Amino acid sequence: MSLTTNAKLALLTRLARRETAATAAPLPKDERAISWKDLPNGSDLAVVHEAGAALGVENPYFRVHEGLADAETTIGNRQFINFASYNYIGLNGDARVTEAAKAAIDRYGVSASASRVVSGERPVHAELEAAIAQVYQAEAAMVMVSGHATNVSVIGTLMGPRDLILHDAAIHNSAVEGAKLSGARRIAFAHNNLKAAERELVAHRARHTRALLIIEGHYSMDGDLPDLEGFIALARKHNAWLMVDEAHSLGVLGPHGRGIAEHLGVDPSGVDIWMGTLSKTLSACGGYIAGQEKLISYLKYSTPGFVYSVGLPPALAAAALASVRVMLEEPERVAKLQANATLFMRLARAAGFDTAECCGMAIVPVILGSSLVAARLAQEMFAAGVNVQPILYPAVPERAARLRFFISSTHTEAQLRQTVEIMTEAVARVRKMKLLGQ
């Protein structure tokens, strides 16, 4: 459908007026009459979908990959260079990892068939936890069925209404949801701004029983790093716990992929709660916490998402365990990933793209400042054989809409160079479309 210039402008004005935290409209009396638009953020989402359809931008979500999604992938029987999967060091598809999962299925079946507390425990759970604890030189670790649920349930369990949670403004949604669940006072401080975090601690710490500072080891949207040493010192100074989410750091940062502490040469014992996921580098599914023995034993008996949820499927635990071993034994994979990401970041910057504060380790954002431009650019690139996910409002503020490239150790230099060339040509075409009246 094509729109008149006036209709486009009206649509764009509506887009620009959207509020960040839309609230739900009052429920209609007849519950069955509830429409999408009555639900939280529903009207906002509807505007985005409507605008996309009206301006000829295809829905970039729920694309079906027909095989292994690695540096290349097959969608609709067509081959693409793929940047939308976080198979950082190519372990999803590695024969040792798949064989470990198959052997676990042969032995235990596909499910743990119970919560680990009550008969869902298998030897591979403890082996995986020991391997993860060892990565952080921690006393113990715990694994759960979902990375997202790990943050929600663990933060929700540890903190309570009399406590204070300070988190980086760019923290992942799962930590925010956990903080909300806890009932603690929750304050977001400006992204990667140690001074802003300190100001909040000075202003609020004394009124709360316990305090938790939450940061990421490698930020999932901007691909930048925190000042870990600074945050450890801040946590000690204000008697707070420090939690670091390593979802995108494990297998990515440090010479052996042990994460931000190894990358910066910081003693990992300064962090009270290491958190991460099994779904990225470790090519399985699930989340983990590593720290002191007493913290882990407490969590294993009290975190609802652990106690009242099924144990991690043994095959996934076995896949994650095999992945940790390969990661530690083959540091050349991590080095290749880092070299690839740095090359891609440099090429993109040289071509004039804004890659924000990205450090060139695995995640490279290309900031476009408009959801429509980002979605349209992704569509043009898809047509040219590159699969990259646009990140649109409300996942990020509208001015921060972007393409996000997940780089892998398995990408070739030729693929990286070709992609930047394709993006350079495509963005010129998109800018000419004057989608936003620019």
Ligand X SMILES: Cc1ncc(COP(=O)(O)O)c(C=O)c1O
Query: Dihedrals φ, ψ of 80, to 5°?
Result: -130, 150
Plot region of 62 (φ>0 → left; ψ -120 to 50 → alpha; else → beta) = left
Among residues 44, 168, 200, 245, which is the contact residue for ligand X, using CB under 6 A?
245
> To the nearest whole angstrom, how small is the minimum distance from the Cβ of residue 363 to ligand X?
9
With binding defined as CB under 6 A, does residue 389 bind ligand X?
no
> To the nearest whole angstrom, how small is the minimum distance from the Cβ of residue 148 to ligand X?
4
- Specify the pairing of strand 273-277 against strand 211-216: unpaired
Among residues 116, 148, 336, 376, which is the contact residue for ligand X, using CB under 6 A?
148
Q: Measure the CA angle with vertex 85, ends 257 and 342; round to 5°.
A: 50
Which residue bears the tokens 């590593």? 290
> To the nearest whole angstrom, how small is the minimum distance from the Cβ of residue 287 to ligand X?
6
How crowded is residue 31: how many other Cβ atoms within 10 Å of its Cβ? Answer: 7
Cis check: omega of the bond before 304, within 30 degrees of 0: no
Instruction: Specify the residue, 407 or 427, whose C-beta has the smaller distance to ligand X.
Output: 407
> To the nearest whole angstrom, how small is the minimum distance from the Cβ of residue 220 to ligand X?
4
Q: Count of alpha carbons within 13 Å of 315, Cβ hemisphere only?
A: 13
With binding defined as CB under 6 A, does residue 279 bind ligand X?
yes
Q: Name the segment binding ligand X (CB under 6 A); options: 23-31, 40-48, 145-153, 345-353.
A: 145-153
With binding defined as CB under 6 A, does residue 220 bind ligand X?
yes
Which residue bears the tokens 């991460």? 276
3-state secondary structure of 132: helix
Binding to ligand X, residues 172-211 (CB under 6 A)? 172, 174
Binding to ligand X, residues 160-179 (CB under 6 A)? 172, 174
**How many angstroms from the chain centroid is the CA of residue 200?**
25
With binding defined as CB under 6 A, does residue 251 bind ligand X?
no
**How many angstroms from the chain centroid is the CA of residue 433?**
32
Query: Are the C-beta atoms of residues 183 and 161 closer than 8 Å to each other?
Result: yes
With binding defined as CB under 6 A, does residue 224 bind ligand X?
no
* Closest-approach residue to ligand X (CB): 147
Question: Distance between CA atoms of 257 and 250, rounded to whole angstroms?
Answer: 5
Question: Distance between CA atoms of 330 and 199, rounded to whole angstroms?
Answer: 43
Among residues 146, 281, 340, 355, which is the contact residue for ligand X, using CB under 6 A?
146
Instruction: Specify the residue, 125 or 248, whose C-beta has the smaller distance to ligand X.
Output: 248
With binding defined as CB under 6 A, does residue 247 bind ligand X?
yes
With binding defined as CB under 6 A, does residue 216 bind ligand X?
yes
How crowded is residue 166: how many other Cβ atoms within 10 Å of its Cβ? Answer: 28
With binding defined as CB under 6 A, does residue 94 bind ligand X?
no
Among residues 87, 277, 355, 370, which is the contact residue for ligand X, using CB under 6 A?
277
Instruction: Specify the residue, 153 or 415, whose C-beta has the smaller distance to ligand X.
Output: 153
With binding defined as CB under 6 A, does residue 281 bind ligand X?
no
Query: Dihedrals φ, ψ of 330, to 5°?
Result: -125, 70
Query: Are the C-beta atoms of residues 422 and 385 closer than 8 Å to each other?
Result: yes
Instruction: Specify the residue, 284 or 426, whose C-beta has the smaller distance to ligand X.
Output: 284
> To the nearest whole angstrom, how small is the minimum distance from the Cβ of residue 277 to ligand X?
3
Residues that bind ligand X in the complex, under the rule CB under 6 A = 146-148, 151, 172, 174, 216, 220, 245, 247-248, 277, 279, 287
